[in-house]
Structure 1
Amino acid sequence: MLIYMLFYFSFYFTLGASMIYFSQFFSAINISGEQSGMIFAIGSFSAMVFQPVLGYINDKTKKSKEILIIITGILFITLLLMNYMNSFIGILTLYSIYAIVVFCEMSLMDIVSLSTDYAFGKIRLWGSIGFAVGALVSGKVIETFGSSSFLYLAAVVSIITGIIILKIPVKINNLHADHQKVDIKKLLTNKKYIVFVIVSMLFLGTNNGHNSYFAVYFKEIGGSMALLGTTIFLMTLSEVPFMGISTRIINKKGVEFVVTLAILCITIRWGVYFFFSKPSVIAVTFLSQGASVGLFFAGANLFIRSIVEKNTLGTAITIFMAAGSLGGMFVQYISGVIIEQYGAVYIYGFFTILAFVSLVLMLSEKKIKNKKNRIKRRV
């Protein structure tokens, strides 16, 4: 299991060291809030388009390891080139490539982990640790060496990720038997799965928007970059205990309960960010990330695995991640406009509304299912 832990730690270290800090980097090279929104939105759209395609290719070829090595190499090149680009079109192009490889690798990593006999939550929590450490280190690197220095740090760690991938056992590629047909039509007519995809689009959309603009928001409400790095570190680290206990909660209450609880927590979280926008308050409520994002990612893939056919798992997970990218595209662009017109605080009011809608959908679907079960018992 150690190799999978290292895999998650190093890859998510790269994410923590880069994803959170792009908004401040764009601002430093004179890219406006609206342009940043467009960059994030197009990046999310690009990822959305490629994720299902990659998932289908993975299900058909069972070449997870080879695909991971290729996209990790592309990630390294993209991060390195971004240091030497300051035009809007150039940054837009490179960030789109970054978004494609990052979100595709995230979903493919989860497919690989779910194909092992290890508890997914115990592996996935190392991604949270890596993200937290990456965010903390990157914040200090930026303060010392400048706004673009985080890109060099992320690029170096992506090389380490590539080396780790080479050590992963080849057997992980055998996700399903060769004779099994990948039935996309059956997947897309699975009502429970489709509702969850919509829920994920809203949930992950707000989370992607938060990742893109949290640095801008935190600076606007009076927080320093050093405190930002520490806050992100504590927030991401808070996912670890929640992911650690997720298996126990799932065994007692069920995976659907865990996912619903996570959506409730993120709705409350965005509301706090909107109504109590002070650095001290945000820093103190760092556990809210673990209770929302930590539980959601610990349960979401397991929930998908429980409602789809095994031979479509790869495609199902990448469509689920693509839904997050689609939601991110919408949320990031609208958020950029909101920041330009009203300020960064107001994007969290927007996030609160979207999260609440996702909660209503999740509860409604559960209510419909329970009603059907009661009718069946009567019959």
Structure 2
Amino acid sequence: MSSLFVKSSNTYFWYFAVHGLVIPFLALFLNYRGFSSLVIGELLAIYTASRIIGPTVWAIFADKTGKQLFVIRLGAFLAFACFSLLFWVQGYWPIAFALAMFSLFWTAILPQLEVMTNRAVKRSPKIYARIRLWGSLGFFVASVVAGEIIDVFSPEAFTWLGFIILLSLWGATLLLKQPRASIQSLVNNSSIFNKIFSKTFFWFFISGLLLQISFGPFYTFFALYLRDLDYPSYAVGLFLGVSVFAEIGIFLILGTLFKYFSLKSLLIVNLGFSAIRWFITGNFAESAWILGLAQCLHAFSFGMYHSVSIQYLQQHFNHNQQNRGQAIYIAGVYGIGGAIGAFVAGIYWQEGVGAQTAYELATYSAIIAIVFACFIPSKSTVKKR
């Protein structure tokens, strides 16, 4: 188990380190290349929309063959190769192509990694949370280090940082081992449609979609937002660091929370704190300590929400449906929701003039998500393992 823990944690570290680089600094990189906020929103929408196709296609292959590790390694290598195109390409469409292809393969990794990890730890929420927190550490280290390096050199350093992180991710996947799957799980590939079109999954899916739409201004323009508010360049890493430490804290107590609270109640709490977070960010960001408090709510809007989602999907889909179920969820919620959020944020941002409006829309999106989540049937707490 110790070897499994180290290898899985290492992979999560580098996978989410990519997040720690891309989320805060991709828009800064594109702005440095001369693109306006409207065009940046379009590029990030294209980049995010590519998640709609890749995860589902690879998950079907993984479910049919049981070769999750092959998909993970291939996805990591091709993501690394496509990201490297940014060293040479210029202009709207070449950059859009490079980002879309990079995202297409990179986002194919997580559904298989989640299934492999949960299967290896026998779906223990406690052990999973401990492994997953290393992803949060990867996000923190990447965002802080990248912020300092970009400040010293220029936003063009973004490409070299991505090159190093993605190469490390590919190397980490080469150390993983494919967990043994039962013969039944490889043979009994039952239809997934009845699970997807159930009312329970519909309400869960729509609430998650709206939550991801609400992340649009933050994922797309947070670094530029702080720059426009005259924060020092290192503030991006510090604020993201606050959010990551809060996220790690929630991971440490998730095992206990899952014992006593239903997934529905935890989901509603997450959505409520998300709405508060966007309201504070859009109206009180001039105050560093208030903005820091809002960043602490990342523990709920991302950390706890992600874990709740994984536990819900583990419960909702059968053993042999896990790859397809998670891929469909990620493709729809993170792909469609993320693309809509980035595109809308780009429309309303207007070089920072419409920042408050963008965050108000994000707040409304999270509030509406709460309404949909209330229709999810109440279920028991996650079983103790």
1:196-252, CA deviations, whole angstroms, 9 ceiling, x for partnerless residues? 111111112323542222112222222222111111122122210101111110111
Structure 2 unaligned spans of 5+: 381-385
- The answer to whether the 8 Å contact 1:62/1:175 transfers is no
> Counterparts of 1:121-140 in structure 2 under 5 Å?
121-140=129-148
CA contact (8 A) 2:250 2:299 kept: yes
Alignment partner of 2:60 out of 56, 59, 69: 56
Corresponding residue of 2:372: 361
Task: Encode CA deviations 1:148-206: one digit per residue, 9 max, x unaligned.
Answer: 21221221122222222111122266696222123122222222112211111111232
Shift of 1:84: 2.4
CA distance in 1, matches of 2:270, 2:236: 24
Instruction: Supply the distance in 2 between the matched residues of 1:48 and 1:112 (Cα, whole angstroms).
Output: 21
Matched letter for residue 303 of structure 1: Y
More helix by share: 1
Amino acid at match of 2:151: E
Name which of structure 1's ranges 96-105 and 293-302 shifts more when overlaid on structure 2.
Answer: 96-105
**Is 1:291–2:300 an aligned residue pair?**
yes
Identity %: 17
Please report how far the alpha carbon of residue 286 of structure 1 lies from its aligned counterpart in structure 2 after TM superposition.
2.6
Give, as a single letter, the amino acid of the residue that structure 1 aligns with 2:312.
F
Structure-2 residue corresponding to 1:374: none
Give the Cα separation in 2 of the matches to 1:354 and 1:108.
29
Report the equivalent of 1:330: 340
Whether 2:35 is the aligned partner of 1:44: answer: no
Alpha carbons 1:112, 1:173 under 8 Å: kept:
no
Q: What residue number does 1:185 align with?
A: 193
1:240 partner amino acid: I
Q: Shift in Å at residue 279 of structure 1?
A: 4.9
Q: Distance in 1 between matches of 2:23 and 2:181?
A: 28
Structure-2 separation of matches of 1:330 and 1:256: 25
Cα distance change of structure 1 residues 36 and 172 upon mapping to structure 2, 3 Å threshold? farther
Q: Counterparts in 2 of 1:135-150, with a 5 A limit?
A: 135-150=143-158
What code does the residue aligned with 1:277 have? A
| TM superposition shift of 1:288 | 1.0
Matched, 1:85 2:95: no
In structure 1, what is the Cα distance between the partners aligned to 2:91 and 2:31?
Answer: 12
Contact 1:122 1:243 in 2 (8 A): yes
Do the aligned residues in 2 keep the contact of 1:199 with 1:358 (CA within 8 Å)? yes
Aligned-residue RMSD, C-alpha:
2.0
Aligned residue-pair number: 369
Aligned residues of 2:80 and 2:102 also touching (Cα < 8 A): no
Matching of residues 264-279 of structure 1 within 5 Å: 264-279=272-287
Q: Which of 16, 24, 27 is matched with 2:28 structurally?
A: 24
**Maintained 8 Å contact 2:45/2:340:** yes
Residue type of the partner of 1:128?
S
TM-score (norm 1): 0.92
1:234–1:41 CA distance, 2 compared to 1 (3 A): same
Pair 1:163-2:174 in alignment: no
Mapped contact 1:221–1:279 kept (Cα < 8 A):
no
Q: Which of 192, 202, 222 does residue 194 from structure 1 map onto?
A: 202
Unaligned 5+ segments in structure 1 are 371-379
* Distance in 1 of aligned mates of 2:374 and 2:227: 36
Distance 1:354 1:141, change over 3 A: same
Residue 266 of structure 2 corresponds to which residue in structure 1? 258
Tell me which residue corresponds to 1:101.
105
CA contact (8 A) 2:209 2:337 kept: yes
Alignment equivalent of 1:302, drawn from 294, 311, 314: 311
Check conservation: 1:14, 1:155, Cα contact below 8 A.
no
Contact map agreement 1:83 1:151 (CA 8 A) in 2: yes
TM-score computed with the length of structure 2 as normaliser = 0.90
Change beyond 3 A, Cα 1:124–1:334: same
Shift of residue 146, structure 1, vs aligned partner:
0.9
Q: Which moved more, 1:220-229 or 1:293-302?
A: 220-229
Q: Name the structure 1 match of 2:241.
A: 233
Q: Runs in 1 of length 4+ with deviation above 4 angstroms?
A: 172-176
* 1:250-284 CA-partner distances (Å, limit 9, x unpaired): 11112332222111111111111122131512134
| Corresponding position of 1:312 | 321
